[in-house]
Structure 1
Amino acid sequence: MRNADLTCIRPFSIVPAMMIAILSLAPRPARADEAAPPETAPRETAEPMSGWDFDTASADLRSTVSEQLTFANQRLAEWKVILGGGAMIAPKYEGSNELDVQPIPFFAASFGEWVKVDPRAVSISLYELGNLRFSGQVGYDRGRKEDDSDKLRGLGDIDVGAVVGGTVQFGTDPFDFYASFSQIIGGSDGIEVTFGGDFAQTIDRFRLSAGLSTTWADGDYMQTFFGVTPEQSARSGLPAYSIGAGFKRVDLDLAVTYAVSEHWVVRGQVGLGYLLGDVADSPIVQEEFQPSVTFAVGYRF
């Protein structure tokens, strides 16, 4: 009974009420015409969460979380990551005779031989058979801006595009031969195929590498980057130029990486590129020889 209800009962009525309650609870003899109530077995009261051990469940949960964290830490420890930055001296655009200094990120990460990441793409190994390896890549093509050079005025911008592709590699240490296929989605909507070989050798703290490659591109890529439509010709003053599929360039890359300490590395790279065939004859191309120099410093985790 609520306290508010007690205030409604007068003091002199409490004693009679108690007497009536006691009499009503007292047992009385059963009459002959009354049947005895059937005996009922006492009901068993089930304990809630019967059989559940909260201490054991909590310990199991903590053990599972600990195992997952340990697994994650082990996987992260297998990543090899280098972060840093540097500068690159290179032509303002492919075919330019003007050099430009550009800041670049120095980023590389690898998970064993299966996953490799750099500023341009992510490569995932899909299948390996002896010295033969197949991998897939996802990245981007930076396109080209009209204001990259005065010589591009009137040609318009080439949008950035996503890149999906694959690579077939055959490695016999210290040599590695490959063929890669790249489909650009957006921008030129073109295709590039590169054939090449790399050599790499570690001597004390130095990592020496050299690579030779040649690149073929389809008509969409070629016309977008090296062709000149009549409309572009009217705006830029360059002669109209139509170009089809073919080999566009050959490249020689030389690089030296020096481990200053356990964590710090310094890298220098020289690229020697040369534009070929119909690409070299394009009115957009001012110079067939395309050199580049890169210097970067990175911290290895």
Structure 2
Amino acid sequence: MGPYVQRRDESAYQGVGPSGRPGPKTVPAARPSGARFAAIAALSAFLPASAAAADLTSSESAVAAPAQFDERRYGDFRDTLHDWNVVIGGGAIYKPEYEGSDKFEVKPFPLISATYGDWLHLNTKGLTVDVWKWEGFKVSARGGYEVGRNDNDSRYLKGLGDIDPGGVVGGLLSYQAGPFQIYAGLDQTIGGSEGMTGTFGGKASHQYERFIFSADASATWANNRHMDAYFGISSRQSLNSGLPEYEAKSGIKRVDLSASVTYMVTENWLVTGVGGAGLLVGDAKDSPVVKDDVQPFVMLGAGYRF
């Protein structure tokens, strides 16, 4: 992102004044750290959303600390704040009314995320903790939620009943080589559909001056419970909705492609745009609930790094 991003560095060089005493420190401009770039690139990828921000505190604050400030007691806390990167913002997303719909809607979308160091990531989808790293390999644990589905989301869903929201726990294995990453994850929903899904794919990110470009390709597998909840139609649902009975079995349910661009307007402000499409396949595609197997989306947003 270029020299417009400045970073406070305790190891900055210190000059010597005319009196021979040490002069003021000079802090050179620095490019964003690898962790910060990766976090913003993840924000650009939108799904999952993750982001980074500038340092929250500065050792060269223009306001002097109170005389009673205990550096020995609170110094570690200040150092901890430097490890946090936060982005808060919002945008709008244009997407299908539900997975499989041919009708679209525009909804507001929050861009809220935080990272601590390079191992803890919090965003609107949940929390991810990196538990092991070695030579580009990484194992992470994550927790989040599944929003479910309401039969009021679309007239096509009338009579099918609601799918309650649920919590999600899972794990992720990935391998990073330069700007490229391959990954595989497995998630179990607790409550709601009680389903299990697995995602595997690859992505790439590239920084050019103030721009960050990202692209992602993935496929999603789902077990019987997930497929039955979202794509199956029981005899009772058939009676209530008028749709034919349908049994959806486990298998690959969709493949997805997406690309994004993030532009750093200033040191703190950023704008991002994401576009992509999913293609429903297998039993998901053949479900009477599905009106269109191509599921495109577009999102535009802006955020502020603290």
For normalisation by structure 1, the TM-score amounts to 0.78
Corresponding residue for 1:10? none
Shift in Å, 1:165: 0.3
| Equivalent position of 1:87 in the other structure | 92
Kindly provide the amino acid, as one letter, of the partner of residue 174 in structure 1.
Answer: P
- In the TM superposition, what is the alpha-carbon distance from 1:166 to its structure 2 partner? 0.3
**Pairing 1:224–2:229 present:** yes
Pairwise CA RMSD: 1.4
Match of 1:141 in 2: 146
- Secondary structure at 1:148 match in 2: coil
What is the alpha-carbon distance in structure 1 between the residues aligned to residue 177 and residue 117 of structure 2? 18
Aligned-residue identity in percent: 41
What is the CA–CA distance in structure 1 between the aligned matches of 2:276 and 2:305, rounded to whole Å?
24
Q: Deviations over 1:217-236 (max 9, x none)?
A: 00000000000000000000
Structure 1 unaligned regions, length at least 5: 1-61
Partner of 1:252: 257
Amino acid at match of 2:281: L
> What SS class does the counterpart of residue 71 from structure 1 fall into?
helix
Picking from 176, 181, 199, the partner of 1:176 is: 181
Question: How far is the alpha carbon of 1:63 from its aligned partner?
Answer: 10
Give the corresponding residue for 1:272.
277
Q: Which among 165, 168, 173 is matched to residue 170 of structure 2? A: 165
C-alpha distance in 2 between matches for 1:190 and 1:275:
18
Equivalence map 1:278-297=2 (5 Å):
278-297=283-302
Residue type matched to 2:85 in 1?
Answer: K
Cα distance in 2, alignment partners of residues 70 and 149 from structure 1: 54
Mean Cα displacement is larger for which, 261-270 or 108-117? 108-117
* Match runs of 1:1-301 below 5 Å: 66-301=71-306
Q: Deviations over 1:173-216 (max 9, x none)?
A: 11011000100000110100000101000000000000000000
Specify the SS of the correspondent of 2:230. Answer: helix
Number of residue-to-residue matches in the alignment: 240
CA distance in structure 2 between the partners assigned to 1:138 and 1:68 by the alignment = 33
Matched AA of 2:298: V
**1:68-110 deviations in Å (ceiling 9; x for gaps):** 4221121112111110000000000000000100101011211
Deviations 1:99-132 (A, max 9, x none): 1001010112112220111101110000111111
Give unpaired runs (5+ residues) of structure 2: 1-66
C-alpha distance in structure 1 between counterparts of 2:201 and 2:129, whole Å: 19
Cα drift, residue 294 of structure 1: 0.3
Whole-angstrom CA distance in 1 between matches of 2:211 and 2:97: 31
Q: CA deviation at 1:65?
A: 6.0
Read off the aligned partner of 1:162 and give its amino acid letter: G
Rg larger in structure:
1
C-alpha distance 239-174 of structure 1, shift in aligned 2 (>3 A): same
Q: Supply the distance in 2 between the matched residues of 1:236 and 1:119 (Cα, whole angstroms).
A: 33
CA distance, structure 1, for counterparts of residue 98 and residue 76 of structure 2 = 46
Q: Which structure ranks higher in relative contact order (CA pairs < 8 Å, sequence separation ≥ 6)?
A: 2
Residue type at the aligned position of 1:84: G
